[in-house]
Structure 1
Amino acid sequence: METKQPQTSPAQTRENIMGTMEINPLLVKLSVPMMISMLVQALYNVVDSVFVSHVSESALTAVSLAFSLQNVMIAVGVGTGVGVNAMLSKSLGEKNQSRANATAKNGIFLSLCSFVVFLVIGLTCMKPYFYAQTSDAAIAQQGIQYLSVCCIFSLGLFTQTMGEKLLAATGRTYLSMISQLVGAVVNIILDPIFIFGYCGEALSGTTGAAVATVIGQFCGAGMTLFFNLNRNPDIQIGFKGFRPSAKAIGRIYTVGLPSIAMQCVGSLMTFGMNLILMSFSATAVAVFGVYFKLQSFVFMPIFGLNNGMVPIISYNYGARRPDRVKKTIMLAVCYAECIMLIGFCIFQFAPDKVLGIFAASDAMLDIGIPAMRIICLHFLLAGASIVLSSVFQALGNGVFSLIVSVCRQLFVLLPAAWLLAQTGNVNNVWWAFLIAEIVSVLLSLGFYARINKNIIAPMYSPAE
């Protein structure tokens, strides 16, 4: 007589991976696709600047000045997704399928609301934003053209970001990677076609760069929608009779708002640094913009590592398995520091080569080479801080991440940069990054000691 095998629910299937698989291969399995995805995301940030730099240095400066607001847009999308990721994974760990579904649906609703907000910003705020940073009409106009398109057509960005977080939260990071790759490849192919005027002068230059970016984002968004509807059985997404849930939105933003605020603090820091550096020259601003694009190739893989780490920690936190939580944190810190060491070596020993990608002039090299060598010193400390920031979010204490970020970028980095700028030597400004990172590491370690005492240690049984 044939024995009928019992059917397993999606949450029980996940138990075989998130709850029992050895941590090191599990972290690698979930993180590597996300790291590749984040490197692809870095391409989004860099490709536009690389091609635009061949148009003119003023176009490169315009795209650099656009980055602050563009980063706010990304912060809202990613931060909301971080909240959805953590809450959805925790719900699955608790075997609460209805809460997991509600989290996913409300996350999608929030991504649409985010798009509406930035549509309005794109239609109303571009001129005051750019003229607050520069009086050069040519730079401002090119920036307005670029950022208006990115904001008005940001639906693709928000849809893609949320779709990727849903896939990551359920352990399907390889599908998220495919979505990112599709979007990036489309962007890379279209960038030179639009930027260099092959589709007409109206769609050339910075406008063309923006058009290529949003088309790539819409392609990536289409892939995430397909994968979540057809290849993600852990969540059931249906909007018949849907009403936004204040409870679900509250749970999402309990974790997500600190993440959004933390990245927006980065935008304020970038805006402030642009103002400080503009007092030296527009070339100094361009160098800072290039640094931010290049450092994303170092930091983005760690963000990908964190995206693989967060659902593991959140799941095992929900399942009350502290040994797996702590081992995940330890391994993530080790991997992050290795990545940072590689980045340090590249920036320290080959700054002229990486700046050459952006058609750097002699004046840009004179400022950029010492800048890269000084700034990269903080890489050696930053890996641990970045991982611990996501650990705080995964364990429901995102406010700790926010405090560290605000102290680092607003209370330490900007004041230090301003004071160092008073020496009249732009090279001294870059030391502010190392000073700020030392403060960040000390704060992160202090908060982790508190998390360990109040959250992780109490999960152990008296016998353990």
Structure 2
Amino acid sequence: MEIKEKRTKMMGEEKVSKVLVKLAIPGIIAMLINAIYNFVDTLFVGMLGNTSAMAAVSSLAFALMNQAANPYGDSAVAGIGIGIKAFVIGMFLILGYNQGFQPVVGYNYGAKSYNRLFESVKVALKHTTIIATVSTIFFLLFSKEVVSLFTNDREVIMVGARFLKAMSLLFPFFGFQQVCAVLFQGLGKGKQAFVLSIARQGLFLVPSIIILPRIFELNGVIFSQTVADFFTILITGIFAIKINKELNEENENISGIDLKEVG
């Protein structure tokens, strides 16, 4: 009972930013360890000089990128593979943060504490945008240096650096995308959460990879994720406007009922 009371007090009374950081830290650490493990593993493989091994990864996004880059040679495949591996670190930080954000959403929505719900969304957007923006600046400034950790091949470094910069262009909005996806999940809006969860890496990325390389060749592969991010941001914005309106209406209805009861 004491544990339950402490959790209730934390969720309902403590400063929202403090609660989010407290709950997010374990998720961030776990995701960061996973990302660093993958990063070091790829670095070790890269030292062996096996470009086909460097390109090996299990994600659907990489498999699609790998297939699309294959006609442009081993350097293109290796460069894009390295770029994805390195970029995952920034993504995992935000995904880890959102593991702490989700229970805060669920608790406050269930308790009809709309003010704290709105505040938690605002704080989460601020924190994740800062993380994404810092990651973007880092990869824009040090893309060549990052890729150079894996290989000395100048062509691979050139492709990998261009890919990292392309991935970074709209990454400051990644926090917005993920916070909204987690928000819908926490609110029990399954359809919207599902659409947002598959939008970036599936719904928009797949057609981008299929269409763009036919028009722009290797540049089409490099910027396919950027195009997918653009359309993901649009659909996320549409969903965000709609859910903000719905939540405000619910809040007004609850406030209206409370005023009548008080009267």
1:378 pairs with 2:183:
no
Which of the numbers 218, 228, 253 marks the counterpart of 1:436? 228
Distance, in Å, in 2 between the alignment partners of 1:282 and 1:32 is 39
Partner of 2:56: 65
The normalised TM-score by structure 2 is 0.88
CA distance in 1, matches of 2:227, 2:169: 10
The counterpart of 1:307, out of the listed 99, 124, 132, is: 99
- Residue 339 and residue 456 in structure 1: after superposition, are their counterparts in 2 closer, same or farther (change >3 A)? same
Normalising by structure 1, report the TM-score. Answer: 0.52
Residues 163-187 of structure 1 deviation map (CA, whole Å, 9 limit, x = unaligned): xxxxxxxxxxxxxxxxxxxxxxxxx
The alpha-carbon deviation at position 424 of structure 1 amounts to: 5.8
Q: Which amino acid aligns with 1:47?
A: V
**Distance of aligned partners of 1:397 and 1:11 in 2 relative to their CA distance in 1, 3 Å threshold:** same
Summarize the alignment of residues 242-281 of structure 1 with structure 2, pairs less than 5 Å apart.
267=60, 269-281=61-73
Aligned 8 A contact 2:28 2:96 in 1: yes
Determine whether 1:49 maps to 2:32: no
* SS of equivalent residue, structure 1 residue 56: coil
8 Å CA contact retained: 2:143, 2:161: yes
Tell me the distance in 2 between the aligned counterparts of 1:292 and 1:371. Answer: 8
Residue pair 2:83, 2:161 contacting (<8 A) in 1 also = no
Q: Find the partner of 1:344 among 111, 119, 136.
A: 136
Amino acid across the alignment from 2:20: L
The alignment of Structure 1 onto Structure 2 pairs a total of residues equal to: 256
Which structure has more helix as a fraction of its residues?
2
2:24 matched residue in structure 1: 31
Is residue 390–residue 401 contact of structure 1 (8 Å, CA) maintained in 2?
yes
Instruction: Give the match for residue 333 of structure 1.
Output: 125
Partners of 2:55 and 2:12 in 1: CA distance:
44
Q: Secondary structure at the residue paired with 1:370?
A: helix
Inter-partner Cα distance in structure 1 for 2:14 and 2:161 = 45
Q: Is the 8 A contact 2:204 2:232 kept in 1?
A: no
Cα root mean square deviation, aligned: 2.1
**After TM superposition, what 4+ stretches of structure 1 lie above 4 angstroms from structure 2?**
none
Q: CA deviation at 1:416?
A: 2.3
1:303, CA displacement in angstroms?
1.0
CA distance in 1, matches of 2:203, 2:90: 24
User: AA paired with 2:189?
Assistant: N
Instruction: Rate the CA distance shift 1:407–1:29 in 2: closer, same or farther, 3 A.
Output: closer
Q: How does 1:70-219 map to 2 (within 5 A)?
A: none
Larger Rg computed on CA atoms: 1
Report the residue type matching 2:219 in the other structure. Answer: N
The aligned residue for residue 448 of structure 1 is 240
Q: CA 1:34–1:404 in structure 2 vs 1: closer, same or farther (change >3 Å)?
A: closer
**Structure 1 residues 411 and 28: CA distance shift in structure 2, 3 A:** closer
| 1:11-40: CA deviation from partner (whole Å, max 9, x where unpaired) | 222112111101111112222342232211
Contact 2:144 2:158 in 1 (8 A): no
Partner of 1:415: 207
SS of match in other structure, 1:66: coil
Q: Is the 8 A contact 1:408 1:436 kept in 2?
A: yes
Question: By how many angstroms is 1:54 displaced?
Answer: 0.9
Q: CA–CA distance in 1 between the matches of 2:75 and 2:199?
A: 28
Helix, strand or coil for the counterpart of 1:279?
A: helix
Q: Hey, what does 1:461 align to over in structure 2?
A: 255
Contact persistence 2:32–2:93 (CA under 8 A) = yes
Give deviations 1:89-129, integer Å, cap 9, x for gaps: xxxxxxxxxxxxxxxxxxxxxxxxxxxxxxxxxxxxxxxxx
Residue aligning to 2:6:
13
Q: Are the structure 2 counterparts of residues 423 and 448 from structure 1 closer, same or farther at C-alpha, using a change threshold of 3 Å?
A: closer
Q: CA deviation at 1:448?
A: 2.3
> Does residue 1:401 correspond to 2:193, yes or no?
yes
- Supply the AA of the counterpart residue of 2:56: L
Q: Could you say which residue in structure 2 is the equivalent of 1:358?
A: 150
Q: Work out the CA distance in 2 between the residues paired with 1:406 and 1:307.
A: 18
Report which stretch shifted further, 384-393 or 10-19. 10-19
Shift of residue 401, structure 1, vs aligned partner: 2.6
1:70-89 CA distance string (max 9 Å, x none): xxxxxxxxxxxxxxxxxxxx
Residues in 2 aligned to 1:296 and 1:370: alpha-carbon distance in whole angstroms: 16
CA positional deviation for 1:43:
1.2
- Flag structure 1 segments of 5+ consecutive residues without an equivalent: 1-7, 69-266
Confirm or deny: 8 A CA contact 2:46 2:54 kept in the other structure.
Answer: no
Answer whether contact 2:28 2:92 (CA < 8 A) is retained: yes
| Letter matched to residue 46 of structure 1 | F
SS at match of 2:112: coil
Name the SS for the 1:327 alignment partner: helix
- Partners of 1:370 and 1:427 within 8 A in 2: no
Amino acid at match of 2:205: L
2:241 maps to a residue whose letter is A
Equivalent-residue separation in structure 2 for 1:13 and 1:406 (angstroms): 36
